[in-house]
Structure 1
Amino acid sequence: MRILLLEDDLALGRALQTVLHDDGWLATWVRLGADAERLLGQESFAALLLDLGLPDDDGLALLRRLRAAGHGLPSLVITARDSLEDRLSGFDGGADDYLIKPFDIPELLARLRAVVRRAGAAGTGSAAAPDPGWTLGDLALDPRRLSVSRAGQPLPVSRTEFALLYTLVRHADRIVTRAELEDGVLPYSGGQTLDVHMSNLRRKIGEGYIRTVRGVGYMVRDDA
């Protein structure tokens, strides 16, 4: 499967290209947003792996342009921008997943496989309508509006509660550890704060969606 890698850092770009090849991907590496945009208009790829800080463009602006043009290519953002606002802006801009630098290579590869699998577009690279959101049972999540509805009725979740639920749904069928949630969504809060947010989230969306794995973390299932 072909991957378009957009990363301006020479050392990291070379390393990622090698890692992707070793994992069975055929990685085309470019360093400029203009080159990535040109290739995406000419060739097919299974996914886009992109940094946000580019010499000639902003990766998020590029991604927004692709989504506005109806390009549904699965996209995984890799960046040092680690604030909650940055991550939510990334998802709002069309990212399918968002990984903070520095990261572990096995996690990068697992997340890349996951976004391709979830999009159902492995090897096609075709333009499609942007992902309208994610569903879990009768819950619907809209990453563009940061909103959740149940059976068509909007639920009053906060931005933090949305980020927690969205993280769990994006990683459905696997345990998301407390550390992942605390570091990724609540980096400046203590462990008790996570429990409070999860309790409030369950109260708002209803029981049966989020499973607690005692002492480890939380998970949801695709068939919830």
Structure 2
Amino acid sequence: MKVLVIEDDATLGRALQEFLSDHDYATDWLADGERALSALKNYAYDLIVLDLNLPGVDGLEVLRTLRADGNPVPVLILTARDDLADRVAGLDAGADDYLTKPFELAELAARVRALARRHNGNAQSLIEFGSLTFDGVHRELRVAGQRLALSVRELSVLEMLLLRPEKIVTKQQIVQKLSVIDADFSENAVEVYIYRLRKRLEGVGVAIQTVRGFGYSLELKEVTS
């Protein structure tokens, strides 16, 4: 499950990212509304933890834009604004839950689990190609039913290829999508992750082909004994 934390306080943002990652959520953290909106146009998340007091584009505007674009991702507002009017405004703008600061981490975890259960019940998240089955909710890849452990970035690159099997995905497309979350992500990084994925997928009947001058394509491959 992929979570995006949008929080301008660096200490809290990093702490939330670490806490949620420790609970097996693939978690990204952004500190301003403008970058968050860019990320949400290019990257799919299963849950958003959203502060309202953001620099530039504030949290409510992020939420309203998200819903206006038809994005149904569950949103948990996490904010110091504890007035009734603020809670009503947040929920009316499309939030699924509202938690005020200060808060207990155990309560945050419980609310995230509740939203995840609700989302998982409606999600159609499985992508299958050859012997590969990718679960977008739980962020797992299985090969012939057996789980294959990959890093978060390896999974993200492979997901892009799985969403367009046997079609070309360019380096630029991969960089554009992942650099929204990781500003240091480059074309060299793409090559590194493609190399790693090729090694991990050896002998499973699926291969990443290089289309010289264009990018990469995920293809079925005959397994030879």
Query: Normalization by structure 2: what TM-score?
Result: 0.53
Find the residue that maps to 1:44 and give its secondary structure.
coil
**1:52–1:79: 8 Å Cα contact kept in structure 2?**
yes
CA–CA separation in structure 2 for the residues paired with 1:122 and 1:95 = 18
Q: Equivalences for 1:17-56 in 2 at 5 Å?
A: 17-56=17-56
Give deviations 1:107-151, integer Å, cap 9, x for gaps: 00110111122233569589xxxxxxxxxxxxxxxxxxxxxxxxx
Q: Equivalences for 1:23-172 in 2 at 5 Å?
A: 23-119=23-119, 120=121
- Give identity over the alignment, percent: 49
Query: Normalization by structure 1: what TM-score?
Result: 0.53
Aligned residue pairs, count? 126
CA–CA separation in structure 1 for the residues paired with 2:104 and 2:113 = 15
**1:33–1:59: 8 Å Cα contact kept in structure 2?**
yes
CA–CA separation in structure 2 for the residues paired with 1:55 and 1:108 = 23
* Structure 1 residues 10 and 70: CA distance shift in structure 2, 3 A: same
Report how far residue 45 of structure 1 moved: 0.9
CA–CA separation in structure 1 for the residues paired with 2:8 and 2:72 = 23
CA–CA separation in structure 2 for the residues paired with 1:36 and 1:76 = 15
CA–CA separation in structure 2 for the residues paired with 1:62 and 1:44 = 15
Partner of 1:170 in structure 2? none
Aligned CA RMSD, in angstroms, stands at: 1.8
The structure having more radius of gyration, on CA atoms, is 2
Partner of 1:5 in structure 2? 5
**1:45–1:123: 8 Å Cα contact kept in structure 2?**
no
Unaligned stretches of 5+ residues in structure 1: 127-224
Q: For 1:13, give the aligned amino acid.
A: G
Find the residue that maps to 1:53 and give its secondary structure.
coil
**1:32–1:57: 8 Å Cα contact kept in structure 2?**
yes
CA–CA separation in structure 2 for the residues paired with 1:2 and 1:71 = 15
**1:44–1:123: 8 Å Cα contact kept in structure 2?**
no
